[in-house]
Structure 1
Amino acid sequence: MSQQTEKISIVLVEDHSIFVEGLQSVLRKIENVTVMATFSAGEEVLDYLQQQPADIVFLDISLPGSLSGVEICRLIRRSHKATKVIALSNHTEREIVSDMLNNGANGYLLKNASLPDLQNAIDQVMMGQCVMSEEVRNIVFTANTSLKSIPRLTSREKEVLYWISEGLTTSAMAAKLFISVQTVESHRYNLLQKFQVPNAVVLVKKAMELGLIRSEK
């Protein structure tokens, strides 16, 4: 069950009406969630968010109009930093998944996601984590030997990197490593800079590609 006590406001961006109706029906079963609006095009949700903030946007990638889901994601995350974006798509191409994550998506689910998958995704992104369907994780974390530049890390940065890959929050890492939250945030920032990545998901992906951490099967 979700640990959130306040209503979580959700907006859906999807151009297939039958899928939207089914998704709304599933989300209604999560007691602390309310679907505030649905849109078939990305431009519409951008206008809406200017007037009515939302906690989470479930965003398809292939949309009608001049803007793709990737571009919509980037614009939402740039202008509405508190709003989480979860991609909900049938695309499993590595490049598309990476584009969404590189442009600020907080999660990437396939459209066959179950009710528990959706509820877990909502809970996790609201706690600052990033979530992906298992199939998507396997795609993202598949080794790519073409990357050869390995950043030089301090021993503490290696520890923080490991615990980030394990999904620990900043406060949990601080407690485990006996350092302050501010120090953890400093190490996290340094890691993002050294790997030249925008978020923790892409950080872990690159670290796995470089063999610095391993994906447990």
Structure 2
Amino acid sequence: MGTNAARLAVSSVTAFAALALTACSEPTPAPVTTTPKTSESTETTDKPSPTKKTTAPPKVDRPADKDLSAVNPCDVMNTLKLSDYGMDNQVPGFQKESSIFPGSQGCTAAGITSNLTVGIESVVTQGMKSWVEGANGETKQIKIEGYPAATVAPKRGISCYAVVDTKDGQMMFFQLLVSNDSRQPVTPQPELCTRVVKMAEAGMKVVLAR
């Protein structure tokens, strides 16, 4: 009992001294410490991370996919009657790798009297949507042989293009342009667009028959 009484007395003195010291001095704010809650941390860690939902691009409405890998653009051009689109003579097309779409094949023919150049390309390196979105000109969405298609009228006004979406990452590309706008005749752009659509319609019949 003596020992316990002594301990109690010491504790009382210590507590009293602490209270006295606190009363006589400016209070010092205690630093705020954040102790992570183990249970909450563990619970958060154990929760599975939410899975990100990926939305598939909308399916393009085509009658069927048409692979253009084996389509020779000069075969298509030479099957058409180019005079129907304003060319003055039936000149054979010249085939070479496309300068617009590297890795794809193109075919070009030029009329002398008409001052027009025709181009047809079977593009296997770029789809219609991305090309039309980046085109610098007025675009119009149309349908050709049931396939999504578009015309592009560049701002310069001496050419017009018709493109047909045949498959993801591929398209048929038709162009009609004034060869030299410093000499006559210079076909107006609206007429070029009308003719190039007719050429694309006839050209797609040839493509789909192969």
TM-score, normalised to structure 2, is 0.25
Would you tell me which structure has more strand in proportion to its own residues? 2
Q: Say which one has the larger Rg.
A: 2
Would you tell me which structure has more helix in proportion to its own residues? 1
TM-score, normalised to structure 1, is 0.24
